[in-house]
Structure 1
Amino acid sequence: MFNKEPVFDTFKPEAKEYKDKLAEKIKANDNVSYYFNRLFKKDNADYMEISVEGKDFKAVAFVFINNWKNIEGIKDANGGGYNGAELKGLQLVVIPNYEGADLVYKDLESIID
């Protein structure tokens, strides 16, 4: 897939420019799809890495998890067996941050494996 957003090819997912552009794309929400990659811990907090795909871009996002509503199965399996599963109806909260926008898990409609 051709990535029309050079920011996603130029910067790493942890970079401010990358995180801010991704937050902008998620907020615009025109046919964005989300796919589960993995769970991980950072600074003793839970995160999931997801792939975010829109009509003209593909990116990686790190989502802070402070509630496990509708993703208990992923937690119980420690992410195992869910790699590549679509996160249908994923709701994220975008929190502006001087280091780049943070994404926080809010809710999920369903997991399509």
Structure 2
Amino acid sequence: MWYPFLNIFFFVFHTAFTLFNCVGWAFAKTRKLHLATLLLTVFSWFVLGIWYGWGYCACTEWHWQVREALGYQDRSNSYIHFLLLKLTGKNFDQQLVERATLILFLFSFAMNLLFWFKHRKKR
């Protein structure tokens, strides 16, 4: 009975979290929270990833469990690949999506740190 709600919740929450990871650096008031979400992502991908596989995301895992309980068989290796497939209907190359995700993540992290240190120098 909760699964349809949880499926929508994960679509909204995980997509919002991902978008915030991409653009949170652009707004001075969100940079601390942005850095926290980036570090949480790093922890998930690289620390939990030691045991569950590189790029592991608990949110993705929980969403897949909910979708399996609803009878969906449309699992992907990454949430970004899955989201692109659902939004565009195109099955992009998974390695390309993973590389683009990592590049965008590193860019976002670098921008956050750049603004962080730039702001600290002004004080």
- Tell me the TM-score normalized by structure 2: 0.23
The structure in which a higher percent of residues are helix is 2
- Tell me the TM-score normalized by structure 1: 0.24
Structure label with greater radius of gyration: 2
The structure in which a higher percent of residues are strand is 1
